[in-house]
Amino acid sequence: MACRPAPSPDRPPRPATPLPGPLAWVDDGLDRLRQRDLIRPRRVRSGRQGREVDLDGRRLVNFGSNDYLGYAGDVRLTKAASRAACAEGFGAGASPLVSGHGTTHAALEDAISRLLDVDAALVFPSGFAANAATIAALAGSGDLICSDARNHASIIDGCRLSRATVAIYPHRDLAALDRLLAGAGPGRRLIVSDTLFSMDGTIAPLEGLCELAARHGAMLLVDEAHATGVFGPRGAGLVEARGCADGVHVRVGTLSKALGTAGGFVAGHRLLVQWLEHAARGWIFSTAHPPAVAGAALRAIELLGEEPQRRSALLDAAAEVRERIVRQGIGADGDTTQIIPVVVGSAAAAVGLAARLSAAGLFVPAIRPPSVPEGRSLVRVSLSWLHTAADHDRLTAALGEHARAG
Ligand SMILES: *Cc1c(COP(=O)(O)O)cnc(C)c1O
């Protein structure tokens, strides 16, 4: 199958026009962001995600994608997508409850539930939708949701959508969570946590969360977005790696990161999944994935089984690179995972370091508020199985130079 390069946009920019009066506030809003170094430029990528990435015409070693296993640009997924599109057409044409749920979707949900060793799984248009819709379907007015302070935006929005009382506990603080649950009213209780926190590189205390959920009769939902495919003997995530499956009631994951495709999923007991089919609005009122996406995701899950060495090599490299970065005298926060945040403090400092790394040929994105709290801006190194030892050397050398420059 020949793949021609995508066309480049060649339309001349439209002349600037004044904002309509009712939108004038937008200009002020952008100005305030500019003053705080929070304007985020959008770069145009040419070609595929891979070991290197071409951004705005510059080729850089790619430490800035979630393509941890190197599948996003893998032609095996493209071919699987193409086969599904040839068989079922491109568009799904309707939501899953109407006529959008095809044989490839059904096979994908079956493959996810086998990977996680649970009854059933439900695929959502995105991981964001999976969290937002599921949390709102599990708790409501009069219920209590306890949410880790560093949870992903989609969890935060799900909590808000639910209209439940939301109690935020400090990051990974089990004693604080215990106190919140002890003071809970008679309604349902729901604990929600990322398993691998992508801005901090930290891992949730899963055993402790399970213990507290059991003791307080709370539901436990965990979001494995950055752990799916990377952790666990089968690549099912940190719940699998830690042997916590029995204590976790709702497992959310994404197909968009290590699995290189798109979409989110929720997995668990068959009746829980049936409930979501009747209550998760972001699933009910949204068109099913194109079959091509489901076909590619199904192939990616097969590859997890065929290529376990990718995740083990990635985590070995993560341990080594992290140690080398710490040895340079830079505080690489977090646990040993494929995500290594280098916290520098101000937004301007993070942007400056990212620019120096870019000058050295490395793409390591700056992460600023609102993705991280004020004063905790960082550059985030995301490792991929595709990186070579020479890439690791270049990264640690460039960060070492930064450390010596103070
Ligand atoms: C990326 C991410 C999501 C959203 O997943 P998408 O499939 O990209 O929409 C949800 N939760 C966490 C923790 C994430 O990092």
Q: What burial class does residue 10 get, using C-beta atoms within 10 Å of its C-beta: 0-12 exposed, 13-18 middle, 19+ buried? A: exposed
Would you say residue 216 has pLDDT above 70? yes
Would you say residue 331 has pLDDT above 80? no
Give the distance (Å) from ligand 1 centre to CA of residue 9. Answer: 28
Identify the band that residue 370 occupies on the pLDDT scale cut at 50, 70 and 90.
confident
Q: Is the CB of 148 under 6 A from ligand 1?
A: no
Q: Is the CB of 194 under 6 A from ligand 1?
A: yes
Would you say residue 406 has pLDDT above 70? no
E strands, 282-354, are 339-345
Give the distance (Å) from ligand 1 centre to CA of residue 375. Answer: 23
Mean pLDDT of 88-110: 98
Bigger pLDDT: 41 or 211?
211
Q: What pLDDT is stored for residue 304 in this prediction?
A: 98
Residues 113-149 have pLDDT tens digits of 999 999 999 999 999 999 999 999 999 999 999 999 9
Q: Is the CB of 131 under 6 A from ligand 1?
A: yes
Report CA-CA distances (Å) from 256 to 263, 264, 300, 317.
6, 7, 11, 22
Domains and CATH numbers, the chain: 40-69+308-402 (3.90.1150.10), 75-306 (3.40.640.10)
Q: Is the CB of 265 under 6 A from ligand 1?
A: no
Q: Is the CB of 254 under 6 A from ligand 1?
A: yes
The ligand 1 atom at the shortest distance from the C-alpha of residue 198 is: 15
Q: Is the CB of 128 under 6 A from ligand 1?
A: yes
How much is the pTM? Answer: 0.95
The residues, ordered by sequence, that sit 6+ positions from 306 with a Cβ below 8 Å of its Cβ are none
Mean pLDDT of 203-217: 98
Q: What pLDDT is stored for residue 286 in this prediction?
A: 97
